[in-house]
């Protein structure tokens, strides 16, 4: 397993947002995580990315414990993150947006940029090379030199993916990547995710749009009130009574 969470728990005051969750993601797998509003999806996502620490439980990545590591250390190990509703930097090109993301996740890059160390130019060139590569992978090669805010919404979302790809991740975590997109933009994003999957990238996608997850995911984990209530292939999960009950409240 590339990612293995055991007994993950996180509460906010009296609310158990994530309640003893186990989760395994195999290398090459696209795992979907779904659940009604307030199910604990974002909390689980942040426990995996390192934005939140668990009250209990463990997260292993590639055989090593990561649950106490800050986000930039997890990024350094190859975990890329696409946050829900992340914002782009206005007044910068698409390429610059990806490069700024790279500076923020590599400590050395950030330091050399800030202190203007001699290694600066070399590091800068390497980051630029990787950013161009990431834009290509995200299908944005033609948009590289345009102001980021001039990109259509679908391309802005792909830009968030490109930012995460710039770190050459082995595992990509996506929190509701399709939220707010129209059908056509959603379709483009689905194709991008399928392409990345074809390249062997392991992904975990939290998504409100069950149809999209059912189409893309190999396996789906269903959360309700912080707990895993079902896990399996899209077909298995669709036929699960507890899932239907959680979504329809009947
Ligand atoms: P989802 O992403 O599935 O909608 P969340 O993980 O955002 O669910 O929230 C799960 C539960 O935890 C909800 O009851 C929510 O109100 C609560 N919660 C999440 N984050 C916080 C926070 N920072 N402070 C207090 N309560 C929170
Ligand atoms: Mg959420």
The pLDDT score that the predictor gives to residue 241 is: 84
| Diameter over CA atoms, the chain | 65
Q: In 50-176, which ranges are continuous DSSP H helix?
A: 71-76, 94-105, 107-115, 120-137, 153-165
A 10 A CB-CB count for 202 gives 22
Radius of gyration (C-alpha) of the chain in whole angstroms: 18
Q: Give the C-alpha separation, 241 to 249, whole Å.
A: 11
- Among the listed residues 187, 164, 176, 193, the one whose alpha carbon sits nearest the alpha carbon of residue 29: 193
The pLDDT score that the predictor gives to residue 103 is: 65
Crossing angle of helices 94-105 and 153-165, rounded to 10°: 40
Copy the structure tokens of residue 80: 């890329």
DSSP annotation of 88 reads P
List the domain boundaries for the chain: 1-78+169-250, 82-153
The pLDDT score that the predictor gives to residue 139 is: 97
Which residue's C-alpha comes closest to atom 14 of ligand 1?
38
Crossing angle of helices 94-105 and 107-115, rounded to 10°: 110
182 alpha carbon – ligand 2 mean position (Å): 19
The pLDDT score that the predictor gives to residue 249 is: 66
The pLDDT score that the predictor gives to residue 28 is: 98
Query: Superfamily assignment of 1-78+169-250 in CATH?
Result: P-loop containing nucleotide triphosphate hydrolases (3.40.50.300)
pTM, entire model: 0.92
124 alpha carbon – ligand 2 mean position (Å): 35
Which residues make Cβ contacts (< 8 Å) with residue 55, sequence separation at least 6? 9, 10, 11
Copy the structure tokens of residue 133: 């590569």
Pocket of ligand 1 (CB under 6 A): 12, 15, 17, 35, 37-43
Chunked into runs of 10 residues, the chain (250 residues) has average pLDDT values of: 98 96 98 95 97 98 97 96 88 94 61 60 85 97 96 96 96 95 95 97 93 95 96 92 76
Pocket test for ligand 1, best of 40, 48, 176, 206 (most atoms within 8 A of CB): 40
The pLDDT score that the predictor gives to residue 209 is: 82
The pLDDT score that the predictor gives to residue 197 is: 97
């Amino acid at each position: 397993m590339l990612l293995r969470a055991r007994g993950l728990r996180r509460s906010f005051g009296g609310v158990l947002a994530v309640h003893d969750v186990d989760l395994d993601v195999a290398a090459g797998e696209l795992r979907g995580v779904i659940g009604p509003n307030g199910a604990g999806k974002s909390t689980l996502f942040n426990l995996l990315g390192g934005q939140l620490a668990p009250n209990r439980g463990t997260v292993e990545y590639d055989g090593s414990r990561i649950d106490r590591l800050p986000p930039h250390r997890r990024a350094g190990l190859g975990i890329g993150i696409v946050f829900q509703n992340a914002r782009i930097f206005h007044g910068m090109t698409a390429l610059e947006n990806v490069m700024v993301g790279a500076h923020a996740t590599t400590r050395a890059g950030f330091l050399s940029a800030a202190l203007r160390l001699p290694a600066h130019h070399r590091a800068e060139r390497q980051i630029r090379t990787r950013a161009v590569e990431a834009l290509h992978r995200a299908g944005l090669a033609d948009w590289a030199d345009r102001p980021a805010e001039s990109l259509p919404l679908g391309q802005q979302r792909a830009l968030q993916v490109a930012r995460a790809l710039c770190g050459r991740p082995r595992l990509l975590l996506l929190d509701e990547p399709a939220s707010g997109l129209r059908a056509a933009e959603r379709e483009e994003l689905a194709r991008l995710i399928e392409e990345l999957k074809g390249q062997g990238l392991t992904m975990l996608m939290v998504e409100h749009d069950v149809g999209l997850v059912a189409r893309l995911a190999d396996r789906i984990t269903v959360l309700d009130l912080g707990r895993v209530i079902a896990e399996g292939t899209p077909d298995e999960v669709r036929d699960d009574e507890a899932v239907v009950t959680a979504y329809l409240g009947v």
